[in-house]
């Protein structure tokens, strides 16, 4: 919320890598309710990795089952790239067995949420990732993106 006496809120950039249009639309609708988030998206892991390097989002939310590579393989590529290694990556997957969740967290996902997800838990995880991004900026790491709310950079999914 903007006030005439205070500064504009800190805007956060979320990259959602998801090939299912219904899931993408749900997350988009949830994030539109927040005035501090801009969403960009990709339908493939490869394009999402490129977007992450170019745009430096505060958090990446990623499905595990993507058409071109698994979310686990994409996470490895993100971690191996110095430009994206610091970005928290949250898994959002229908793989809901305890073993799968444990494997995801052990692989390096910041959080592992299962579909259908709890909205409050999803928002809490986003806020935690934003706290990490804000702490990095306060520590002198460069600010990532410069995007206003409503900026639209979404890959068309088919």
Measure the CA–CA gap between 129 and 45, rounded to whole angstroms.
20
Q: Which domain holds residue 134?
A: 12-140
Q: What are phi and psi for residue 11, nearest 5 degrees?
A: -90, 135
Q: How many domains does the chain have?
A: 1
- Confidence (pTM): 0.84
Q: What digits encode the pLDDT tens for the residues 126-140?
A: 999 999 888 887 887
Q: Does a structural domain hold residue 158?
A: no
Q: Does a structural domain hold residue 7?
A: no
Q: Does a structural domain hold residue 2?
A: no
Q: What is the rounded average pLDDT of the residues 25-40?
A: 93
User: Domain of 77: which CATH number?
Assistant: 3.40.50.2300
Q: What digits encode the pLDDT tens for the residues 39-91?
A: 999 999 999 999 999 999 999 999 999 999 999 999 999 999 999 999 999 99
Q: Does a structural domain hold residue 75?
A: yes
Sheet holding 59-62, edge to edge: 111-114, 89-93, 59-62, 12-17, 37-42, 153-154
Contact 92, 113 (CB under 8 A): yes
Q: Does a structural domain hold residue 25?
A: yes
Q: What is the pLDDT of residue 134?
A: 87
């Amino acid at each position: 919320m903007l006030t005439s006496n205070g500064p504009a809120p800190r805007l956060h950039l979320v990259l959602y890598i998801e090939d299912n249009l219904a899931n993408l639309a749900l997350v988009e609708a949830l994030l539109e309710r927040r005035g501090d988030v801009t969403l960009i998206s990709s339908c493939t892991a490869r394009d999402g990795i490129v977007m992450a390097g170019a745009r430096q989002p505060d958090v990446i939310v990623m499905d595990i089952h993507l058409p071109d590579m698994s979310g686990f393989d994409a996470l490895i590529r993100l971690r191996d790239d110095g430009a994206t290694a610091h970005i928290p990556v949250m898994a959002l997957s229908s793989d809901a067995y305890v073993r799968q969740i444990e494997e995801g967290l052990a692989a390096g996902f910041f959080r592992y949420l299962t579909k259908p997800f709890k909205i409050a838990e999803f928002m809490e995880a986003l806020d935690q990732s934003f706290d990490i991004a804000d702490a990095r900026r306060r520590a002198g790491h460069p600010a990532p993106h410069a995007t206003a709310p409503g900026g639209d950079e979404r890959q068309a999914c088919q």
